Amino acid sequence: MHEWLRSNQRTLLIIIPLLLVCFLLFNPFKNASTEIPTPLVPAQEPVTPAVEEAPKSESILVQVDIKGMVNLPGVYQVNDGDRVVDLIQLAGGTTDEAEMTSVNLAQKIHDEMVVYIPAVGEEIPSVIHTTQSPERESGESQNGKINLNEADSTTLQTIPGIGQAKAQAIIDFRDTVGRFESIEDIKKISGIGDKTFDKMEELIDTK
């Protein structure tokens, strides 16, 4: 054995290093021990940003009395700013005797309003009007001031700085926009500024 080793020593010195190199290069356990599995990350769904909804304005309920030629006359609770046509529909519509020529179906409704639908041939000075006591029929408030929401053109023209054109503009404002909530709202009428308002402030009201 010793003689064989001695005679093949040179050969062994060549073969053994080659075997080591082959083992290191082709070791089947190397990849298995050093490879670290990559964890699977679940796909994330795209996040849609939440859209904030605009706050809804709460409607104000008012009581309105409808009389005359409608199928169901009476007091109804409606939204402030609804139109006369909406109220007539709630009241079951008009009867066959109703005269609708002078009725402003587009007029906005407000609290304590009285809507009267006349019969054919019936003469009514004010077809659609608010309930008024005798001392307020000219558009005056109970405190003697001129009510911007009820006064007619003639009464409005008694206010300092209000002529026929501005009086008509006030009436048009009531019909298209709605009631004057405060006396300062009259400055929304074209041509009425702070100086004009100062002259009329103590003479006007909205109730």
Over the stretch 52-67, which tens digit does the pLDDT of each residue have? 665 555 678 888 889 8
Enumerate the domain spans of the chain.
61-130, 134-205
pLDDT at 130 over 70: no
pLDDT digits (tens, 9 = 90+) for 73-95: 999 999 988 889 999 999 999 99
**pLDDT given at position 36:** 55
pTM value?
A: 0.40
Tell me the residue ranges of DSSP E strands in 72-140: 74-79, 113-117, 128-130
**pLDDT given at position 80:** 84
- Higher-confidence residue: 132 or 163? 163
Cβ atoms 69, 119 nearer than 8 A = yes
What single letter denotes the amino acid at residue 204? I
**Cβ atoms within 10 Å, residue 185:** 17
Decide yes or no: CATH 1.10.1760.20 for domain 134-205. Answer: no
Could you tell me which residues come within 8 angstroms of residue 171 by beta carbon, excluding any fewer than 6 positions away? 152, 153, 156
DSSP 42-58: PPPPPPPPPPPPPPPPP
CA distances from 35 to 22, 25, 39, 89, 121 (A): 20, 16, 12, 81, 102
CA distance 80 to 63: 9
Q: What are phi and psi of 114, to 5 degrees?
A: -115, 125
CA distance 152 to 125: 12
- Mean pLDDT score across all residues of the chain: 77
In this structure, of 42-51, 53-62, 101-110, the range with the lowest mean pLDDT score is 42-51
Q: Name the fold adopted by 61-130.
A: Ubiquitin-like (UB roll) (3.10.20)
**pLDDT given at position 172:** 94
**pLDDT given at position 129:** 46
Classify burial at 101, counting beta carbons within 10 Å of its beta carbon; exposed 0-12, middle 13-18, buried 19 or more.
exposed
Query: Under DSSP, is residue 92 helix (H, G, I), strand (E, B) or coil?
Result: coil
Token pair of 188, please?
A: 């929304």
